[in-house]
Structures are given as C-alpha cells and as structure tokens.
Structure 1
Amino acid sequence: MSASSPTDWYRSWGKRLFDLALAGPLLLLTLPWLLSTMLLLVVTNHGQVLFRQRRPGRYGILFTLYKLQTMTDARDAQGQLLPDAARLSRLGRWLRATSLDELPQLWNVLRGDLSLVGPRPLLPQYLPLYSATQARRHEVLPGITGWAQVNGRNAISWQQKFDYDVWYVDRVSLGLDLRILGLTCWKVLRAQGITSAGQATTTAFTGNPPTQVPPSV
C-alpha cells in the first residue's frame, strides 16, 4: 500500500481544519465592522441588509450563500429590475470594490458550505451548461476566493475562469491555498478585476459554443 502524500492529507481533512482555524477568528475580528455596515445598509438599502441566494456547492448540491446587499431592488415603469449599474448604491459599489461584501461568507465556511479557497460558486442555472471538464470545478468545495479570482476575476472570459478552476482542482495544496490568499489580499487592496469590460459586474454564462464539425469529403 502506498503512503498518502501531503496533498492527499490536505485534501481529505487538512483543508477543513485550515478553514476553521482562519474563518472563526476572522469572523469574530470583523464582527463589529460587519454590524456597523449592516446598520448603514438598513438606511441606504431600505432595510435590505443580507443578500441570500442558492448556489451549487461540492458535487452541485445547493446551499444558501450569504453576502452583504450591494444592490437595491429599483425597477423601471414596467416593473423590471434596472441594470446592475443602476441598482448599485454608493455604499454597495464601495463594498464590492473592496470585496467586503463577501465577509458574511465566513459563516458559510464555518457551516461547511464553502472553503476559504476554491472555485467561486456560480448560479444553479449554469449547471447543465458546463462541459464535462468544466463541471470538474464541483469536485471540491467552492471558495470565497480562488485561482481564477487572483488571475483576473471578472475581467477574464468564462473559459479562462473554468480553465483556472480545473487547474486548481488538480493541484489543491496548503501551499497553493496560502499563495492564493496572499494574492487575494494584494488584489483586493488594488481593486483589480472587479468588473468585466462594459459591465458593472460580469456577463452571464450562456453555455459553450457549438463544436465545429468539419464537412465530410
């Protein structure tokens, strides 16, 4: 029987211990700031404080993701939601630029829904649109930050994001997670990659282009 590698140990249970060791103290440390910000959101967002949305986790199993509410529910005369850019409040824009709207996800980490590092949890409607390779991003817990986030975040294409996600899945390790967390802090301080070109956040994933079949001879 071959001995387990350090990577196997970390994948099996070391990563979970790492998450708990960091997420608990971080949540306690930021709690006063979180509560103060939530009070501001009560005023600026007309009582809307927490954003809750069902997202697919490991193996595609749905869980409830928590974030600070950065958008209002402003609608046009026909009752349709306004574009993202029009619904982002000034406070919400700042929270997104600093990624502080993600802090409630530390609770998701403590619950075991998320890891600190992993592919970002996307929308449930994307699940049937993935290729077999892209779907491998669900072989690990999703994360608050990830390899795609420190390599462009919303400023890169969907295919690039998925390539980075699968690259991470194949190389999970403590060293890589520490590297990603360090790069995340640097990226957040510089507010890089928050949006896609011409978008307030990012465009929706609509699936993969059809495979081009060469004409028969």
Structure 2
Amino acid sequence: MKVEIWSDFVCPFCYMGERKFEKALELFEHKDEVEIVFKSFQLNMDQAEVKDKDIHQVIADKYNISYEQAKANNDRIVKAAQEVGLNYRFDILKLNNTELAHQISKYAEYNDKGKELVDRYFKAYFEEGFDIGNKEKLIELAEEIGLNVIELKKRLDDGSLKAEIEKDKALARELDISGVPFFVINDKYAVSGAQDPEEFLKVLKKASNYN
C-alpha cells in the first residue's frame, strides 16, 4: 500500500497531520505493508525571509485580522500540537522559503531517509527556531541524519532536485490539491487535513480491503 503525503515544512497542521497518521499506522494491522512517500507542496512559493515581524503579525496581515486575534489562533494551534506530543514554539519561528528544504527532502527519499529528514526539518522549524530557508543549516541537518552532503550539494547545483519539485507541483495542480496536509492512499482514497487517527485508520482499512 502506498501513502503519499503532501505537505509543507512551515505548515503547522502538516506536522500534526503526519503525527496523527503515525498514530493510526501504529494501530493498523498491516502497517509493515505501507510505503510512505512525501510530496512537496509550497504554501507560499514567493515567501522570502521575514525579519521584522513575528508569526502573529504575519498572520494578522495575511488574513486582515488583529494581532490579538492572530495570537489567539496560534495559541490554539500550539495547544492542539501539544495534544499529539509536539512542542511548538511560535515565539521563535523563522519564516523563510521552503524550496531548498523540499529539494533536500527529495534527495533524502532517494537514499531511504525521507521520513527521517522530513521529521527532523519539522521538529527543527517548529520546536527549535530553525531557519528553514538557510542552505548551510539545511545541509547540516542532512549530514546529521547521515546523508552524503558532497553528493547532495552536487545534486542541488545541477538542478535535478528542483526538477523533481516541479513535478510534484504539476501533479498537485492535476489533482486539484489546494491545501495541505493532503494524503493520497493507493492513488484512490484521499484524506484532507490533520484528521484524528481514527479517521486515518478507517481509510487505511478501506484501502487495503481488510475492514
């Protein structure tokens, strides 16, 4: 069984959604038969590094709401993350473009470390104040999980990883995916959003015909 997970590294619901899916997978009788493939999706493709605003002000400006409303909404997200064991630190988030992070995650996937890197980037961004757009720091974390950084740098320079990201973008448009997280199971069943583990489990059972 193949599960494709569309997500972006700056999406708080993507990290929560992946964690909830993992909890469902733990309860799935045939979890050893599941292949997880991460697909790249950029919520803000033109996002540049933001230095003069915190995340609350960025959200307030984006949705035309007050700073207090934005902070209250983010506080609710932090609380929801805590319920699945994640310690979000919105006070130290560093907003930046995720293009390079997605490229490196593709390289990790080719080397059977896709999930390991995705989880590491999510944790670093949401819990450690990591700059998700800093190339040097991204490569440091890639090396931390055992990737060959010399080969990785070559792949980044030759544009082949960027080409893979463009394929994901095209496929997302073809599937009419407009938000993440988005889960596609066996090219047939779709789950949108950070659903509860019980919902994911239902779809896994349905897709595998082991109801």
Q: How high is the TM-score relative to the length of structure 2? A: 0.28
User: TM-score, length-normalised on structure 1?
Assistant: 0.28
Which is higher, the Rg of structure 1 or of structure 2? Answer: 1
Larger relative contact order (CA 8 Å, sep ≥ 6) = 2
